[in-house]
Amino acid sequence: MVAAMFLMKKETKKDDKKLGGLLKSKTAGELRLQKEMTDLEKDLDPNVKLTFPEKNNIMEFEATIKVDDEDSLWYSASYKFNIKVPPNYPHEPPRCTCVTKIYHPNIDLSGNVCLNILRADWKPILGINIVLIGLKMLFSEPNSNDPLNHEAADVMRNDFTLFKSNVKKSLKGQTVDGQSFPKLL
């Protein structure tokens, strides 16, 4: 255990040198996130792009997800999520909001995201990669039984044909239930 901590500290110093000394006085959560980001560089899904609006702030970033599942109703659209990692990460989950307006049962019109791993099912062993996978899964497996957008969930449960039509209209930048959506296709 102690050897692993020294190894992590040594790797962090190497990463710090690569980044020009930006890792000084980092919290345990920042160090963990730095390690996760280094690992993600090798395995990041090519349809997920990460950007850091504040160059020296690893704790807040954006993930743009291009929906690549051909069976998804949102196929080929891209959605931007703002991800804020709290100071006591990984003991507290990141907070995710969808910046791109979407018609979806698990994302409300304000961008709040309903994903169990971001709430009750969060465990410190989970990490950012799992969060990104969970966000991608929302486009393949929307859950009308645990909604934030109750109107979309009701339509999905009661009239799936209408739900599919509403998603298509929203992707074309049309109005659905009095709400305007950006043109994504």
Write out the two tokens for 180.
Answer: 């305007």
3-class DSSP state of 125:
coil
Find the length of the chain: 185
Of residues 67, 83, 102, 114, which has the active-site annotation? 114
Q: Which H/E stretch holds residue 160?
A: helix 160-171
- Residue 98 annotated to the active site: no
Number of C-beta neighbours around residue 21 at 10 A:
8
The angle at the Cα of 45, spanning 51 to 102, to the nearest 5 degrees, equals: 65
SS3 content of the chain, % helix, strand, coil (to 5): 40, 15, 45
CB 113 within 8 A of CB 97: yes
Dist CA 94 CA 89 (whole Å) = 7
The angle at the Cα of 78, spanning 42 to 134, to the nearest 5 degrees, equals: 55
3-class DSSP state of 75:
coil
Could you list the active site residues? 114
